[in-house]
Structure 1
Amino acid sequence: MQKLGTATELEYAFLFTLRKVNSINPEGFKPFFSNMPIDPYIKGNYRSRRLSRFIVSGNGLIKLPHGYFFQSKEDNPLMGGIKREFAELDDALIKLDIFKNLVLAFSDSCKLHPEAEIGVHQIRITCSPGNFGNLAPEGIHQDGTDFIGIFSVDRDNIQGGEAHLYTAKKEKPVFSKVLNPGELLLVNDHEFFHFGNPIKPQTDAQGSLDVFVLTSPSLLSG
């Protein structure tokens, strides 16, 4: 994990890192990605999504009240300026030790301050031979938060979907990689733009990509 040099830079000193979270077996998450609600804000019905927000309390999590997701048009030219509402994460998912371990891994790796609010997006992207799955319909972008974590849960019958990081929109990526299940990419949103290539199926059957995206702050409000 890279660090900058001075105390005044400490808050945003984290750049990016990729780690394998050994305390998490992604197989335990898979049942919770079936029959998820379709994201109503994206055309094409290829993205499903849930969203909840938490704070870390000791070695546990406190789930915060339901909120609305909001980004500026500058950060998200496609969906910015819209107050979006998504279904909460399943209570049975939240109770899993592996879910707690994921949120704690994000908080610890980013060295978040106590009581920092964390948003957890549960996302499935699907694709078929005639319809590719667009991971980032808004293009190369920043989310408008401080820290981002992308955790890969499953890749089923797909190719593509590489994660890219850029220091500027018109520059070549400084990082490009397919995230394998169990890998967590951590990014300072102030320092990098990010993007994900569309996915397409490897065979004539449907394919899917399952991820958790964690952010702090959560960009949710009551």
Structure 2
Amino acid sequence: MPPAPIFDHDEFAQSLRDDGFRFVAGEDMRTHLQEHGSLQDWNVFADSWNDLAPDAYLARVGQQRRRRHAIFRAGREGAIERRPHQPHYQSLSYNTLQGDIERWFEPVRDDIAQSQTLGTVLAFCRDFFSALAPQTPAWHIELHQFRIEARSDQDGQPTPEGVHRDGVDYVLVLLIDRHNIVSGTTTIHDGDRRLLGSFTLTAPLDAALVDDARVFHGVTAVTPLDPEREAHRDVLVVTFRADGTPAS
């Protein structure tokens, strides 16, 4: 049997350099991820989205979001290490809804933080974003598990703060699952909020790669396809910023 083809990331990288973003279909993303490790425990990894805690900070606009959070550090090579649990912080200039406060979320479970799948995702991100930023010696990484729930009486809001930037260098949004929902379209905008592109993550491992310093992004509300059944959108969001730079 001939060896499997080796896929490089040049096309993805050129998209981010040219446009500031790139949509990647799930099967293509799987191929790229597997260059960096195994996805053998994907089913256990994905099932952990059933064990997220309510986002209490959204109580005033509706608790349709569940999440867990973790922080890692990565050099350009070597091990990617989890850091002690810390709050998530964004300034009001980046998050007008929940800025200028320290938000403490339940931590990502240890078994998920140590899983093969997450290690593979983080290794892909580290190598890909490091190639785009050769001057960055190390990365501060924040990991967010999100479940957005849609109900018959209330839409689910993946980005309740609206079209925004995260105040980091780069972002990966990876779809884990979507169940009984419609919409949830990702939109990308320039600095004047003009629409640059849009796409909908529909299959597991569908991904968006975003140069957060250059473009804004948002996600439209999700609604139940069948209002009598449970409905949700599960994503993994991974943000990278140069280690040692303050949170924005």
TM-score interval (norm. to shorter):
0.7 to 0.9
Q: Return the letter of the residue paired with 2:68.
A: R
Q: TM-score, normalised by structure 2?
A: 0.78
From 179, 183, 194, give the equivalent of 2:217.
Answer: 194
- 1:213 maps to 2:237: yes
Identity, % of aligned positions: 25
Cα deviation, 1:147-176, whole Å, max 9, x if unaligned, reads 1110110001111111111013541x2121
Q: Return the letter of the residue paired with 1:198.
A: A
From 68, 73, 82, give the equivalent of 1:63.
Answer: 82
Cα deviation, 1:23-80, whole Å, max 9, x if unaligned, reads 3475342210113110111122210111111123645421011111111111111001
Mapping 1:97-112, distance limit 5 Å: 97-111=116-130
Q: Return the letter of the residue paired with 2:47.
A: P
Mapping 1:124-143, distance limit 5 Å: 124-143=147-166
SS at match of 2:164: coil
CA RMSD of aligned residues (A): 2.3
Mapping 1:26-105, distance limit 5 Å: 26-43=42-59, 44-56=62-74, 58=77, 60-105=79-124
Per residue, is there more helix in 1 or in 2?
A: 2
Task: Give the number of equivalent residue pairs.
Answer: 213
TM superposition shift of 1:145: 1.0
Q: Structure 1: state its 5+ residue gaps.
A: 5-11
Contact 1:141 1:169 in 2 (8 A): no
For 2:144, the equivalent position in structure 1 comes to: 121
Q: Return the letter of the residue paired with 2:48.
A: F
TM superposition shift of 1:220: 8.5
Inter-partner Cα distance in structure 2 for 1:80 and 1:116: 22
Q: Return the letter of the residue paired with 2:207.
A: L
For 2:22, the equivalent position in structure 1 comes to: 17
**Considering only CA atoms, is the larger Rg found in Structure 1 or Structure 2?**
2
Q: Return the letter of the residue paired with 2:200.
A: V
Q: TM-score, normalised by structure 1?
A: 0.87
Q: Return the letter of the residue paired with 2:235.
A: V
